[in-house]
Amino acid sequence: MRIAGEVLRNLFRKPATIQYPKQQTQIEPDARGRHFADLKKCIGCSLCAMDCPSKAIVMKKLPEDKKPPQNRRGLYPVINYLNCIYCYRCVTICPVKAYVTSSEYRLATESKVLTSEELSLSTLSR
């Protein structure tokens, strides 16, 4: 009889699973997701690239016409998201708090390369 009650209750219960991707997973707003450097703040010190545990950050040269005044070295970090382990060491070690963080976790892509290059460069034109 206990089982019969359980069966009846389960008939009218909502399913425990969700219809992803039609329905989105609830993620904490401060969960560690995709992040990139804001080049209006970045000074190109390379600390994040040195401390990255998975060596996912490479320092690249800024385009000559887009050099912000504070960035004398002319370097900016490019994160390879496919290597990144999302530990946020770069975010916490940054001396000027240049990293923009988000809880974006959906990083599936068809391309073989997925980096923060475009996102970072777009901060300059804002």
Partner 1 sequence: MAEAREKATVTLEIPIGPQHPALHEPILLRVFADGEEVIDVEVVTGYNHRGIEKLCESNSYYRDLFLVSRTCGICNTIHADVYTRALEQILGREPSQRARYLRVLALELERIHSHLLLAATIAEIVGFDTLFMLIMRDRELVMKAKEILTGCRVHADYYMPGGVRRDIDEVKRSRLLEILNKLEPRVHKYITLFEEDPTINSRLLEVGVIKPVDAVKHGLLGPIVRGSGIDYDIRKLEPYDAYDEIPFNVIVEKGCDSFSRMMVRWRETVESIEMCRYVLTHLPQGEAVVDEKRLPRAFPKGAAFTRGEAPRGELTYYVESAGGPNPYRVKIRTPSLNNLINSRFVYVGLSVADVPVTFASFDPCISCMERIVVIDRRRQVKKIVSFRDLALRRVRV
From start to end of 7-74, where are the E strands?
A: 35-37, 57-61
Q: What is the DSSP letter of 64?
A: G
Q: What's the CA gap between 14 and 1, in Å, rounded?
A: 22
Q: By CB under 8 A, tell whether 4 contacts partner 1.
A: no
- Between 58 and 88, CB nearer to partner 1: 88
Site for partner 1 in 6-65 (CB under 8 A): 16, 27-28, 30-32, 51-54
Q: By CB under 8 A, tell whether 106 contacts partner 1.
A: no
Q: What's the CA gap between 68 and 43, in Å, rounded?
A: 9
Q: By CB under 8 A, tell whether 85 contacts partner 1.
A: yes
Select the residue interacting with partner 1 from 5, 21, 69, 95 (CB under 8 A): 95
Residue 105 one-letter amino acid: Y
Select the residue interacting with partner 1 from 86, 99, 119, 121 (CB under 8 A): 86
| Residue 23 structure tokens | 């329905």
